[in-house]
Amino acid sequence: MTSHKRTLGLTTAVAALAAPLVASAPAQATGTPPRTGFEQTHGARWTSQPEEQRLLAAVDKASARVSVERIGTTKQGRPLQLVRVGARNAATTVLLICSQHGNEPSGREACLTQIRDWAYAKDKATRRFLARTTLLVVPTANPDGRAADTRGNSDGVDINRDHIALRTAEGRAMAAVIRDHEPDVIYDLHEYGATPEYYDKDLFDLWPRNLNTDPRVHDEAETLSQDYVRPAAHAAGHSTGTYGIWTDPVTGEPVKQTAGDGQERILRNMSGIKHALGLLIESRVDPGTPAEEADEPLNNRRRRDSQLAALKGLFRFSGERAGHIDAVTDAARLAGFRDTGPVYVGGADNDPAEPAETIQDPPCGYRLTKGQYAEYKDELALHGITVRPTGDGAYVPLRQSQRALAALFLDARAPYHVTEGTPDTNC
Summarize pLDDT for 366-382 with one digit per residue, the tens: 999 999 999 999 999 99
Compute the C-alpha angle 153/104/408, nearest 5°: 55
The reported pLDDT for the residue numbered 30 is 74
Paired sense of beta strands 92-98 and 185-192, if any: parallel
How far is the C-alpha of 7 from the C-alpha of 15, rounded, in Å?
12
Q: Which residues contact 196 (CB under 8 A, 6 or more apart)?
A: none
Residue 25 pLDDT level (bands cut at 50, 70, 90): low
Burial class of residue 107 in the structure, from the number of CB atoms within 10 Å of its CB (0-12 exposed, 13-18 middle, 19+ buried): buried
CATH of segment(s) 3-332: 3.40.630.10
Cα torsion 392, 393, 398, 401: sign: positive
11: confidence class by pLDDT, cuts 50, 70, 90: very low
Mean pLDDT on 304-328:
97
Rounded Cα–Cα distance for residues 85 and 309 (Å): 19
Helices (runs of H) and strands (runs of E) counted in the chain: 16, 16
* Percentage of residues in the chain having pLDDT higher than 90: 91
Sign of the Cα torsion 401, 403, 404, 408 reads positive
Measure Cα distances from 227 to 33, 216, 314, 316, 332 in Å. 32, 16, 10, 10, 22
With CA atoms as reference, report the closest residue to 103 among 41, 163, 160, 173: 160
Query: H helices of 72-160, where?
Result: 106-120, 124-132, 143-148
**Euclidean distance between CA atoms 1 and 72, whole angstroms:** 23
Average predicted confidence (pLDDT) for the chain: 93
Name residue 279's beta-bridge partners: 187
Give the confidence band of 26 by pLDDT, cuts at 50, 70, 90.
Answer: low
3-state secondary structure of 392: coil
* 334-359 tens-digit pLDDT: 999 999 999 999 999 999 999 999 99
Is the pLDDT at 23 greater than 90? The verdict is no
Domain regions of the chain by residue span = 3-332, 340-424
Distance of alpha carbon 203 from alpha carbon 269, whole angstroms: 19
Among the residue ranges 204-208, 254-258, 309-313, 423-427, the one predicted with the least confidence is 423-427
What is the predicted pLDDT for the residue at 326? 97
In sequence order, which residues have a C-beta less than 8 Å from that of residue 375 and are 6 or more positions away?
Answer: 419
Long-range contacts of 423-427 (CB under 8 A, 24+ apart): 423/363, 423/365, 423/366, 424/363, 424/364, 424/365, 424/366, 424/367, 424/395, 425/363, 425/364, 426/364, 427/364
Residue type, 242: T
Q: What is the pLDDT of residue 27?
A: 73
Of the CA atoms within 13 Å of residue 376, those in its CB half-sphere come to 28
pLDDT score of 250? 93
Given a cut of 70, whether residue 386 has pLDDT beyond it is: yes
Alpha helices in 135-279 (DSSP H): 143-148, 169-181, 215-223, 230-235, 267-273
Which of these ranges, 15-29, 133-147, 323-337, has the smallest mean pLDDT? 15-29
pLDDT at position 2, please? 39
pLDDT score for 61:
95
pLDDT in tens, 139-156: 999 999 999 999 999 999
- Crossing angle of helices 124-132 and 296-320, in 10° steps, is 60
- 296-320 vs 106-120: helix axis angle to the nearest 10? 60
Is residue 19 pLDDT above 60, yes or no? no
pLDDT reported for residue 21? 34
Is a pLDDT exceeding 70 seen at residue 185? yes
Lowest mean pLDDT among 11-15, 47-51, 398-402: 11-15
- Mean local confidence (pLDDT), 211-219: 98
Which pLDDT belongs to residue 31? 81
- Cα distance between residue 111 and residue 46, in whole Å: 13
Q: Above 50 in pLDDT, residue 9?
A: no
**73 contacts 79 by C-beta, under 8 angstroms:** yes
* Alpha-carbon Rg for the chain in angstroms: 21
